[in-house]
Amino acid sequence: MKTVYSDLHGLQHAEAEYIRGKRVASFEMPRRVELVLERVRAVALGPVVGIGDYGLETVGKVHDAEFVTFLSTAWQAWSAENGEIDAFPNAWPPPRASRRATKRPGAELGRFCIDMSSPIMAGTWTAAKAAVDAAVTAVDIVAGGDHAAFALCRPPGHHAGRDYFGGYCFLNNAAAAAQAFRDRGYGKVAVLDIDYHHGNGTQDIFYDRADVLTVSIHADPQVEYPYYSGYAEETGEGAGADFNLNLPLPWGTEYTGYGAALATGLGRIAAHGTEALVVSLGVDTFGGDPISHFKLVSDDFTRIGQAIGGLSLPTVFVMEGGYAVEEIGVNAVNVLSGFKAVA
């Protein structure tokens, strides 16, 4: 299996985020994907290849134009006012407030940013764009005949919606991959999100579409980020009714409960008549993850990969979260090796 990687990810290196009132060192750091890359090489998963430049065509199909313009110019506007300091929102629009654009960068951030974990810096746009390009490159590798490919994306993407960013995510890499599959003639596509956190952005982007089924297995949003979505009753709307499946699980979940939810999700993906699969590969379900509360062990990730491989679908894996820095490489690559062993 080929791995798609660009060192441009290193341009996103947030100094800090805010967790429960505390300013702490960002858990989302460049070292994460460097360790995954080292593990890919250590187990000889396959060749490591660079990214193509796909412009903004696919991005423009999964994000609103105003949002893309904002994100690509946000640092320029912010740094002109505030200097070289990481950009966080200054305020958020309350319910029923005006949606009109303002003239102040900190207020504009509040219109598009959902949390205090995702600062914009000088290289954010370049890094986020490179991550989308990695995802689309992986789709082209699979469309070209490979059974599967791994987009080693960073920053992650699944919390980025049509017109918002947050949760360390700026552009939605997995959504771009799903859209790219559609644009290359795959009629029915599915996204399986196995990150510990609900893939709210991916759900948002495809919520009214039947051509891209979205399935997410994640911690109960009543107690876990992103809090305001991820509930089982969110099943899609309009043409997309019944094409979104959320499988929330309690804190403390071990593989017994996890594997049962995974089987349910995979069954739904098979019933969809899926022709191509995108996996949002987060490994923050690991028991040792510093910000999460599931209890998976490293061997469980091999089992997850085997179960996904059982679908025998053309598959693109897109890296999402996972913050237990020492184990993240082993756990992510275990999924890929498990998949490869059966697929």
Q: Which positions are annotated as active-site residues?
A: 159
196 binds Zn ion (CB under 5 A): yes
- Here's the x/- map for ligand OKP, 17-56, by CB under 6 A: it reads as --x-------------------------------------
- Interatomic CA distance for residues 245 and 182, integer angstroms: 20
Q: Which of 9, 182, 197, 295 lies at the binding interface for ligand OKP (CB under 6 A)?
A: 197
Nearest CA to 298 among 313, 319, 283, 281? 283
* H-type alpha helices, 144-254: 173-183, 200-206
**Residue (214 or 274) nearer to Zn ion, CB:** 214
195 binds Zn ion (CB under 5 A): yes
- Interatomic CA distance for residues 79 and 119, integer angstroms: 12
Q: Is the dihedral of CA 166, 169, 174, 178 positive or negative?
A: positive
Phi, psi at residue 17, to the nearest 5°? Answer: -140, 170
Adjacent-strand bridge partners of 291? none
Cβ(210)–Cβ(239) below 8 Å? yes
Q: Which of 75, 168, 207, 243 lies at the binding interface for ligand OKP (CB under 6 A)?
A: 168
Q: Which of 34, 86, 108, 195 lies at the binding interface for ligand OKP (CB under 6 A)?
A: 195
Q: How far is the CB of 320 from Zn ion (least distance, A)?
A: 6
193 binds ligand OKP (CB under 6 A): no
Given the structure tokens 């992510």, which residue do they identify? Answer: 332
Q: Which of 89, 105, 167, 201 lies at the binding interface for ligand OKP (CB under 6 A)?
A: 167
**Residue (262 or 343) nearer to Zn ion, CB:** 262
Question: Per the structure block, which two tokens stand in for 251?
Answer: 């804190």
Phi, psi at residue 176, to the nearest 5°? Answer: -60, -40
10 Å CB burial of residue 332 (0-12, 13-18, 19+) is: buried
Question: Per the structure block, which two tokens stand in for 127?
Answer: 């890094």
**Residue (18 or 238) nearer to ligand OKP, CB:** 18
**Residue (244 or 292) nearer to Zn ion, CB:** 292
What is the signed CA dihedral for 138, 159, 179, 38, rounded to 10 degrees? Answer: 0
Cis peptide before 89 (omega within 30 of 0): no
**Residue (67 or 196) nearer to Zn ion, CB:** 196
The neighbour count for residue 239, using CB atoms within 10 Å, is 11
133 binds Zn ion (CB under 5 A): no
HSE-CB for 286 with a 13 A CA cutoff: 25
Select the residue whose beta carbon is closest to Zn ion and give its number. Answer: 321
**Residue (137 or 200) nearer to ligand OKP, CB:** 200
282 binds Zn ion (CB under 5 A): yes
Q: What number of chain residues touch Zn ion (CB under 5 A)?
A: 6
What length is written for the chain? 343
Q: How far is the CB of 328 from ligand OKP (least distance, A)?
A: 11
211 binds ligand OKP (CB under 6 A): no
156 binds ligand OKP (CB under 6 A): yes
DSSP classification of residue 90:
S
Q: How far is the CB of 234 from ligand OKP (least distance, A)?
A: 17
Window 271 to 290, contacts with ligand OKP (CB under 6 A): 282, 284
Q: What number of chain residues touch ligand OKP (CB under 6 A)?
A: 14
Residues engaged in binding ligand OKP (CB under 6 A): 19, 117, 156, 159, 167-168, 195, 197, 225, 282, 284, 291, 320-321
Residues that bind Zn ion (CB under 5 A): 195-197, 282, 284, 321
